[in-house]
Chains A and B, each alone.
Chain A
């Protein structure tokens, strides 16, 4: 699909990122269809050309149409982009499977794991649909900045070259670079593991332990991710890339990040349930900790930072005590990889 024009794209999920992707697609594709599960809102967006709930006054271009009829949105699209919350992915995939065909490329832009199964989003898509050519779009992509025309970059990961080429062709522009990667496992995992690091940095920030400690926790946290990567069969290059370090930088340095804020609350002595209630939205980092702790037990891994976060979130342990325990460990040779 290199250099071929994509004639129709279907985007499932009209949230902030879905709408942003619709705009990016509209720059290259003549027929972009955006799906909103709420008919009234779909109608309103279609009429007003604004998605007030998620993108404020940003004006949606004319070649983007908004619908609540899923078949109309994805039935004849060459590429389907799925941008829904991770816990809605399975239900969405089931709905999609009513209308999609194996000739279509199915790409998601959702970070996180399925809570019940700890499965990656592409695994859910593969389980629920007959599409095999799947991919993930991930990276440090703050939608506001992209909609304001600021430069950004992302990674399309798929085992299939043609999916990578198709999405690059669809989304790449001088203001939005799209890199390709075959390591779909690494890209999906790091997209969710970075939330744990955001929790940790939020916690250190609230404990007022300074930039040095933050750097220490972040660096050793990345080393723990590297250890997990080895067991998961993911590539270290992915961790060092845009979807890895790139996204970690963006998430952990933003105090507006949901997971950073959750880290602050953990440091104040609140448990996972209270944090979740206060943030009013899914805190992916907390679910990811659970998934990692299960995985760690199975593979006998030593992950002191993630374990400490787990104790704070789920066992009511004090954040400062846990940080001190980490600091009390006698370091051997520094191993990052």
Chain B
């Protein structure tokens, strides 16, 4: 990347001033904390601050007790012991501000990422050439097999990863304001694919928050650390951490850094897209409005932020087995992090890529219609229009009593509204693949025949029993396919071309072929005139991808 490119790259500029960014984040968070404590009764302000510190200490020591990262643990332990000691020694006159500031700074330092243009250039070169970082730990046989496949397949990700949607519009908008990409999240490979896709689209690098666990892999961590990723530790729930994280994201957006959030939080455990459960995490998304308000207050030339939802559709998900197990066993939020996730095993990833590149499988990344921070659709000129076609003056939304500014209660409601609009886009621009459809109808059929509508009851059956003829499946599936096609024609969903035809056999063949890739126990097995499964839970996982449209009700 040349010096000129660098100066045009907001992310590079942002990280050139890393120290100033951290200082800005610290001072904003501190100011907000003090302002929050002044909002409570004057007599309780100190208690409020004490509670914040105590909350941080309690949660951090608990986290450290459970931490498996010995090295990081020592550094953290020493810091938090220092805080605990300063907190213990306080008296009624002690100013708590320095303690609060130390905690906030500690979080800001941890969260802040780096951007190294050289690493970015290297990563964008090597990524299309085969994810070779993950092959280092493979035995030579596997390595050779993967290498040979990749060479034979001419290593063309463009053939495998389809980018759909109005890409030109997004490119145009990236010059008129800041893009906030909000994808669905099914796999740890999402970030890698998105990184490649954005490069392929000719967009500058994006700032993105990545789970701290992803940084623990030395090689992946190295790239994450130098490609503009900032760290999100999902185990940290205390207020001071959350507020620091929010401000970091907001500062990045205000500095014109195009950003990427996974608004659903972690990967979908059930395999269902985010709109099925219907709730997105309000946290990082709320920073969009916050940044917009600041941009307006600062009278920036390009104050606009454009939210671009993106739907990722895999035929086969790398971590499907562990995710569905987690979903079924799930007992609470403390089980959020998956230990020994199969996607972290280099061999598994290599096998996945090997099969993915070699087989007919593909991934679809659909970039939905962009929204403004208030959920209105944005047109090609970068402007929002109302239903009557009138151009909207967006600052009107943040005007109360004639004044432009933040209003916490109002802005929370705007955040909920934006969440809903993103979910609406996910649902309407969801690209349904043949594998999703066949998994859906097959599982629904089994559910009614063997499970009395209850998946758990169905899971008690042997997979050998869960077999039917293709004719039986066709009879059940065709009316649902018709319903799906009508929904598609009305703009309620997107279908891959094979689903737009009325050739059920072709749909079944496509699904069987794509789902045969990778999983040892195949979720769908098409043998002659029979359709079966080797893993009901996996079938359930892929079935869930088409939940939320009420399709089976038609046939029931």
- Residue positions of A touching B, CB distance < 8 A: 1, 4, 94, 97-98, 101-103, 127-130, 132-133, 159-162
B375-416: contact bitstring with A at CB < 8 Å (1 yes, 0 no)? 110000000101110101110110111000001011001101
Partner pick for A101 among B384, B396, B409, B410, CB 8 A cutoff: B396
Partner pick for B410 among A98, A127, A130, A161, CB 8 A cutoff: A161
* Contact (Cβ within 8 A) B409 A160: yes
The answer, yes or no, to whether B417 is at the interface (CB within 8 Å) is yes
* Contact (Cβ within 8 A) B374 A132: yes
Q: How far is the CB of B399 from chain A (nearest CB, A)?
A: 5
Q: How many A-B residue pairs have CB under 8 A?
A: 52
- Given A98-B390, A102-B374: A162 in contact with B397 (beta carbons within 8 A): no
- The bracket for how many chain B residues form the interface is 20 to 34
* Contact (Cβ within 8 A) A161 B387: no
Partner pick for A102 among B397, B413, B416, CB 8 A cutoff: B397
* Contact (Cβ within 8 A) B413 A130: no
User: Which of chain A's residues has its CB closest to B388's CB?
Assistant: A97
- Given A159-B413, A160-B410: A102 in contact with B396 (beta carbons within 8 A): yes
A98 surroundings in chain B (CB, below 8 A): 388, 390
Q: How far is the CB of A52 from chain B (nearest CB, A)?
A: 34
Contacts of B402-455 to chain A: CB distance below 8 A? 407, 409-410, 413-414, 416-417
Instruction: Kindly state the separation between the CA atoms of A128 and B386 in the bound complex, as whole angstroms.
Output: 8
A97 surroundings in chain B (CB, below 8 A): 386-388, 390
Instruction: Kindly state the separation between the CA atoms of A130 and B385 in the bound complex, as whole angstroms.
Output: 8
A132 surroundings in chain B (CB, below 8 A): 374-375, 397, 413-414, 417
Instruction: Kindly state the separation between the CA atoms of A63 and B416 in the bound complex, as whole angstroms.
Output: 39
- Given A4-B401, A102-B392: A162 in contact with B387 (beta carbons within 8 A): no
* Contact (Cβ within 8 A) A129 B387: yes
* Contact (Cβ within 8 A) A1 B417: no
B376 surroundings in chain A (CB, below 8 A): 130
Instruction: Kindly state the separation between the CA atoms of A98 and B397 in the bound complex, as whole angstroms.
Output: 17
Q: How far is the CB of B427 from chain A (nearest CB, A)?
A: 16
A130 surroundings in chain B (CB, below 8 A): 374, 376, 384, 386-387, 390, 392
User: Which of chain B's residues has its CB closest to A93's CB?
Assistant: B387
* Contact (Cβ within 8 A) A94 B399: no
Instruction: Kindly state the separation between the CA atoms of A97 and B400 in the bound complex, as whole angstroms.
Output: 20
Q: How far is the CB of A162 from chain B (nearest CB, A)?
A: 6
A102-B396, A130-B374, A160-B413 known; 19 new pairs, CB 8 Å cut-off, are: A1-B400, A4-B401, A97-B386, A97-B387, A97-B390, A101-B393, A101-B396, A102-B392, A103-B399, A127-B387, A130-B386, A130-B390, A132-B374, A132-B375, A132-B397, A160-B409, A162-B400, A162-B409, A162-B410
User: Which of chain B's residues has its CB closest to A2's CB?
Assistant: B401
Partner pick for B387 among A1, A94, A101, A103, CB 8 A cutoff: A94
B374 surroundings in chain A (CB, below 8 A): 102, 130, 132
